């Protein structure tokens, strides 16, 4: 049953004790009810330990009450890295590790939410204390100094996501005096691993408050709602995380380009002959010094690169109405570019953008809206003497154009069983993020004039060109190389990069051998050094480091039977 239908129902609840009994005895009726969500019986059984922990924790904290359970899966993006905020194509799937919220209605507006993990303080949230009853735009509310001070005082704390979800529910239905919830949340999505644990928590808590109060939000509405929740924490996110958790069905690849339009989405079953490995690098985003500056410089260039491209198109004689209509990366697909000369046109426009340009030259050559504001966003925190003045826009721009096109054709490769091409697209995409080669030497795809001219001369399809975005790390590059060396069809980072997860696409018969090779590598001293792990992985950590993706259904409420 889809989430849009479930939120409109008044579910018959079951007591926490009854839920726990059904889970611990592997009740046949419960297993049948969970099968459409998780798939094979082995996948269902693998989900029960987390459910058991969360329900048990609810009983310990709140006692026995009639409860309801909301689950929200992790998310995976197979292809379409760094492009969702610029309207590029994405290939999304759910991931079986998930966030679960067990809740009952509170007798007053205050919500109490507990985490099963130690180190996460209990959250008590009364919307009235945030002045949330005030009818004002969400952006205006979260911009209030009082709100910013409260959030910043707990920056990075899980309570910001919980309170953000509760406050956003109050904002969604201002005419109703919403009651609170008493809830326990638990998750086995690795934190900071590019599987969107924060979005899963935000959605699960919001859905719990909505369900407790008999309110409904469509999946399309939930996309914006989830963005709003993360915005209160200070994060500015796109739509890929929410769409991945709300729309793909079990074992389905969901392809679309923002802004979201369900009628234009393509859906394709993940092939039986393939396996997708989700490899946790056990690394954290901890940039500093030259690495921080390199990464931020590329992100700044990427944020305004499309404006430079449109300027060069106008200079090249492309009609202004056409240029103004090409607002997103997805607008620059192969079919749309054919009237202008296809790949050659892109390479020509790229060469018109100076290979290296200073900030003053950038202002003089291009009329870029909010250039100084954008520069301040990325480099304002740095001492003035450390702020960069010279930029190369070609590499990030070429990456964005090529990656969106890779994501557009990736779904075709899956649909036509061209698995070799699908894997190759993943690897090419990672090469655009790569910072070292297989020998550990610094590496970046060349985008100088000679290199771009050669691409044009050979008429290389743009989806075959890595570009140069540079959001990987030595640890992620090494895991990609290990996977491919062991026989994977392709591999790449997923998510924002720098840390987190690597994906490896494998033929089913090769899976066990590739997993063994990755495990062997992760046990080495060299792997630990690159990941900056203070101690070797425990056997349990090593085993859970490589997981075969088993995509479940999208976020929903569990049927109490």
Q: What is the CATH number of the domain that holds 227?
A: 3.30.230.10
- The pLDDT value given to residue 289: 59
What is the per-residue pLDDT across 246-260, written as a single tens digit (0 to 9) for each?
Answer: 999 999 999 999 988
- The pLDDT value given to residue 144: 87
pTM reported for the whole predicted model: 0.93
The b/e string for 307-317 (b: 16+ C-beta within 10 A; e otherwise) is bbbbbbbeeee
Enter the tokens of residue 291: 């690495």
**Local structure of residue 18 (DSSP, 8 states):** H
What gap in Å lies between CA 293 and CA 379, rounded to an integer?
9
Q: What is the mean pLDDT of each run of 10 residues along the chain (561 residues)?
A: 42 86 95 95 96 98 97 96 94 97 94 95 92 72 88 88 95 91 96 86 97 93 93 82 95 94 94 97 72 79 93 94 95 93 94 92 90 88 86 94 98 97 98 95 95 96 96 96 98 91 98 98 95 93 96 93 70
Angle between helices 219-232 and 197-212 (to 10 degrees): 120
Report yes or no on 167 lying in a domain.
Answer: yes
| Domain enclosing residue 172, as ranges | 69-269+551-556
What gap in Å lies between CA 384 and CA 392, rounded to an integer?
20
Report yes or no on 245 lying in a domain.
Answer: yes
Q: Which helix (H) or strand (E) holds 80?
A: none
Report yes or no on 320 lying in a domain.
Answer: no
Angle, CA 69 vertex, CA 68 and CA 70 arms, to 5°: 130
- The pLDDT value given to residue 369: 83
Report yes or no on 187 lying in a domain.
Answer: yes
Report yes or no on 410 lying in a domain.
Answer: no
- The pLDDT value given to residue 3: 43
Report yes or no on 485 lying in a domain.
Answer: no
Length of the chain, in residues: 561
Q: How many domains does the chain have?
A: 1
Angle, CA 79 vertex, CA 325 and CA 434 arms, to 5°: 105
What gap in Å lies between CA 218 and CA 226, rounded to an integer?
12
- The pLDDT value given to residue 192: 79
Report yes or no on 430 lying in a domain.
Answer: no
- The pLDDT value given to residue 535: 92
Enter the tokens of residue 510: 């090769």
Enter the tokens of residue 143: 């911009």
Report yes or no on 201 lying in a domain.
Answer: yes
What gap in Å lies between CA 409 and CA 421, rounded to an integer?
10
Number of other residues whose CB lies within 10 A of the CB of residue 21: 14
């Amino acid at each position: 049953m889809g989430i849009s239908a479930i939120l409109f129902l008044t579910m018959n609840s079951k007591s926490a004790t009854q839920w726990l009994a059904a889970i611990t005895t592997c009740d046949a009726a419960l297993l049948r009810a969970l099968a459409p969500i998780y798939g094979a019986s082995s996948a269902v059984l693998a989900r029960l330990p987390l459910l058991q922990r969360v329900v048990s924790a609810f009983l310990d904290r709140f006692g026995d009450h009639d409860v309801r359970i909301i689950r929200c899966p992790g998310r995976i993006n197979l292809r379409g890295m760094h492009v969702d905020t610029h309207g590029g194509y994405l290939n999304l799937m759910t991931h079986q590790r998930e966030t679960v919220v067990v809740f009952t209605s509170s007798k007053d507006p205050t919500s109490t939410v507990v985490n099963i993990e130690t180190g996460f303080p209990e959250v008590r949230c009364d919307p009235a204390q945030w002045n949330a009853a005030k009818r004002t735009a969400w952006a205006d509310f979260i911009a209030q100094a009082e709100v910013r001070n409260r959030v910043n005082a707990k920056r990075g704390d899980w309570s910001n996501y919980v309170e953000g979800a509760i406050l956003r529910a109050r904002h969604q239905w201002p005419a109703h005096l919403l009651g609170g919830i008493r809830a326990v949340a638990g998750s086995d999505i690795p934190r900071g691993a590019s599987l969107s644990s924060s979005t899963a928590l935000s959605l699960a808590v919001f859905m719990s408050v909505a369900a407790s109060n008999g309110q409904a939000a469509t999946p399309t509405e939930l996309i914006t709602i989830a963005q709003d929740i993360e915005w209160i924490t200070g994060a500015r996110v796109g739509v890929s995380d929410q769409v991945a958790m709300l729309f793909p069905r079990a074992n389905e690849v969901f392809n679309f380009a923002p802004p979201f339009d369900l009628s234009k989405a393509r859906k394709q079953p993940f092939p039986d002959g393939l396996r997708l490995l989700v490899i946790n690098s056990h690394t954290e985003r901890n940039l500093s010094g030259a690495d921080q500056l390199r990464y931020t410089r590329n992100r700044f260039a990427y944020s305004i690169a499309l404006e430079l491209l449109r300027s060069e198109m106008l200079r090249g004689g492309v009609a202004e109405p056409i240029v103004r209509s090409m607002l997103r990366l997805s607008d620059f697909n192969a079919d749309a570019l054919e009237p202008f000369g296809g790949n050659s046109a892109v390479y020509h426009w790229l060469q018109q953008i100076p290979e290296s340009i200073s900030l003053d030259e950038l202002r003089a050559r291009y009329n870029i809206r909010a250039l100084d504001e954008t520069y301040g966003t990325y480099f304002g925190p740095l001492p003035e003497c450390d702020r960069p003045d010279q930029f190369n826009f070609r590499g990030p721009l070429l990456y964005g154009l090529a990656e969106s096109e890779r994501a557009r054709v990736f779904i075709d490769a899956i649909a036509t069983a061209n698995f070799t091409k699908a894997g190759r697209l993943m690897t090419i995409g990672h090469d655009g993020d790569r910072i070292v080669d297989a020998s550990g030497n610094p590496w970046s795809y060349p985008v100088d004039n000679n290199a771009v001219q050669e691409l044009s001369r050979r008429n290389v399809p743009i989806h075959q060109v890595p570009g140069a975005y540079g959001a990987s790390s030595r640890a992620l590059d090494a895991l990609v190389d290990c996977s491919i060396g062991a026989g994977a069809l392709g591999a790449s980072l997923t998510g924002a990069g720098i840390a987190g997860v690597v994906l490896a696409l494998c033929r089913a018969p090769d899976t066990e051998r590739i997993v063994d090779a990755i495990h062997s590598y992760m046990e080495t001293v060299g792997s630990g050094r690159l990941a900056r792990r203070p101690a070797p992985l425990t056997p349990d950590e090593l085993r859970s480091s490589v997981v075969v993706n088993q995509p479940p259904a999208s976020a929903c409420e569990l049927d109490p039977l």
